[in-house]
């Protein structure tokens, strides 16, 4: 999942939510301490680099690893019980994994298959919505998969894949949608654009798309309570938490406001939010930020499970000049 004014036209039935906006209390950010530990998950044999993208409640981590001394080519990988398992690049080229559920279903993208599902060593293409590029971005514990696919004409539409069938979640005329997260209830979050350029954060619930805010941005993850985290893409790139129609800005304490200080990635059912602040992996909970320990350079958290374990990556030298490596933070 990535972090990314014109009049906006929305799809029929999608209304701009009326939101109450608050700013998170400026509690002191805790310094990285011995309570948190960072473990280097390593790379494939001969690989220089790796990065983790997702983690399940068993502590299995997925992402990608280079197979040589540079990033390209890279393969989707699974880290389990101290081993780095190569999921391969079916059809050739590169592949990467974005998410894993508790049953061990892994999703992502491969050059040969497009949106890909890996399970028990077998890779399966999820299909397309009639266009070329497709990617799976998230999977829930019911095995439902979301992502986005090109449609005829080249625009991208969010999809929901269930029991072998890929369904188009739709998009505004002339625009695009991308699904970036799904919870176990089946609620889907992502972004929607009506002009093909600027997007707004959205939530699909039972097939109906709801705009969470009219400000430019995207929703990145949703927990089983329906709490949504995301990032605004204009101005100062503020992170936000959406709960029952109310938005809280996740601003780091002791920063001139507004500043692009916290980049969010994921949220669990305990309300813990993983991401990065001031170029270091961080966790936010109840208004308190805790900076996680680095290996040598900067770092970022990309996924979090219900045990509070965080997956991500860290650089092996100061200033981000070293190679990135996948990391698991535990408390």
Task: Please report, in angstroms and rounded to a whole number, the separation of the first and last CA atoms in the chain.
Answer: 24
User: Which residues touch 81 (CB under 8 Å, ≥6 apart)?
Assistant: none
User: Quick one: pLDDT at residue 307?
Assistant: 98
User: Quick one: pLDDT at residue 21?
Assistant: 36
Assess whether pLDDT exceeds 70 at residue 274. yes
Q: Is 318 helix (H, G, I), strand (E, B) or coil?
A: helix
What six digits make up the tokens of 198?
């600027």
Assess whether pLDDT exceeds 50 at residue 19. no
pTM for the whole structure: 0.89
CB of 160 within 8 A of CB of 181?
A: no
| Domains detected in the chain | 37-330 (2.130.10.150)
List the one residue out of 318, 315, 317, 313 whose CA is nearest residue 329.
313
Round the average pLDDT of the chain to a whole number and report it.
88
Q: Pick 172 or 34 by higher pLDDT.
A: 172
Q: Which residues on neighbouring strands pair with residue 246, listed in sequence order?
A: 20, 243
User: Quick one: pLDDT at residue 147?
Assistant: 99
Find how far residue 180's CA is from the centre of its chain: 6
List the one residue out of 148, 152, 154 whose CA is nearest residue 196.
154
Q: Is 33 helix (H, G, I), strand (E, B) or coil?
A: coil
User: Which residues touch 271 (CB under 8 Å, ≥6 apart)?
Assistant: 223, 227, 285, 286
User: Quick one: pLDDT at residue 316?
Assistant: 87
């Amino acid at each position: 999942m990535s972090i990314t004014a014109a009049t906006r036209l929305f799809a029929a039935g999608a209304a701009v939510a009326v939101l109450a906006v608050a700013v998170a209390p400026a509690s002191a950010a805790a310094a990285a301490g011995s309570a948190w530990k960072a473990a280097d998950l390593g790379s494939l044999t001969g690989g220089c680099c790796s990065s983790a993208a997702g983690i399940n409640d068993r502590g299995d981590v997925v992402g990608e690893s280079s197979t040589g001394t540079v990033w390209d080519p890279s393969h989707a990988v699974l880290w389990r019980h101290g081993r780095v398992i190569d999921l391969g690049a079916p059809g050739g080229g590169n592949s990467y994994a974005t998410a894993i559920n508790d049953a061990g279903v892994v999703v992502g993208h491969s050059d040969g298959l497009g949106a890909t599902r890996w399970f028990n060593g077998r890779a399966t293409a999820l299909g397309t919505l009639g266009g070329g590029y497709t990617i799976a971005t998230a999977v829930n514990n019911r095995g439902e998969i979301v992502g986005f696919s090109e449609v005829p004409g080249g625009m991208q539409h969010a999809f929901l894949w269930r029991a072998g069938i890929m369904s188009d979640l739709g998009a505004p005329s002339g625009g695009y949608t991308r699904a970036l997260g799904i919870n176990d209830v089946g609620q889907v979050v992502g972004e929607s654009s009506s002009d093909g350029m600027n997007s707004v954060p959205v939530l699909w619930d039972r097939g109906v798309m709801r705009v969470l805010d009219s400000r430019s941005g995207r929703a990145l993850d949703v927990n089983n309570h329906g709490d949504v985290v995301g990032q605004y893409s204009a101005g100062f790139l503020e992170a936000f938490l959406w709960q029952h129609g109310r938005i809280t800005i996740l601003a780091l304490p002791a920063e001139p406001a507004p500043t692009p200080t916290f980049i969010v990635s994921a949220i669990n059912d305990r309300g813990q939010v993983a991401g990065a602040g001031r170029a270091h992996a961080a966790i936010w909970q109840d208004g308190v930020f805790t900076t996680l320990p680095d290996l040598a350079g900067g770092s970022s958290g990309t996924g979090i499970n219900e045990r509070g374990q965080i997956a991500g990556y860290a650089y092996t030298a100061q200033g981000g000049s070293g190679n990135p490596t996948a990391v698991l933070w535990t408390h």
